Structure 1
Amino acid sequence: MGLYEKDLQPRVANVNAMLKVPVTQELFDALVSLTFNAGEKNLANSDLIKKLNAGNYQAMPSEFIRWVYTSKKKSLGLQIRRIKEMVSFAVPYIKK
């Protein structure tokens, strides 16, 4: 097992433990990606997870875009990453 897989496994397990509602694979992947920046504890206590677990899937884009700060400053790299994640998990809903 490579370093990436070792780093990924606990995050996957933590996201699985946080979720109380079904999500698409794309949304799950975006949540796992978000844990790399936000940390599991921050994500577990976030409005994003609370809204998601309440079934408010429509709030996800606006909640994801809030996670773009590093050292209290907006990061262009994180903004781009969050937008890509939002597009990725929104596409299956748009296709329906």
Structure 2
Amino acid sequence: MKPSFNNFLGSATPVVTENETDKRALLEFKAKIIDDHFGVMHSWNNTIPFCQWHVVSCGHRHQRITKLDLRSIKLVGSISPFIGNLSFLRVLNLENNSFHQAIP
């Protein structure tokens, strides 16, 4: 097993992987939702991998989020600026929801 650069320096700080970045971005997005009428985001937790969360699609090669299809699920809230951390995101469908601030 190859040691990480972080371990070589003796740092106790965990290395954040790209997958963790995507997961954190979605959890920050969820935190800004004040009403999830259909309970779609109940799966957005630590019990299953984020690529298996409802309305989330990931690429096969990198396991990074490529699509969020939030269309018509009656979400109410604002959009977290952490959405910008989804660097592989190609499709974001926000149609027919009630977001009350500008898209960051």
Question: TM-score, structure 1 length as denominator?
Answer: 0.34
More strand by share: 2
More helix by share: 1
| Rg comparison, structure with higher value | 2
Question: TM-score, structure 2 length as denominator?
Answer: 0.32
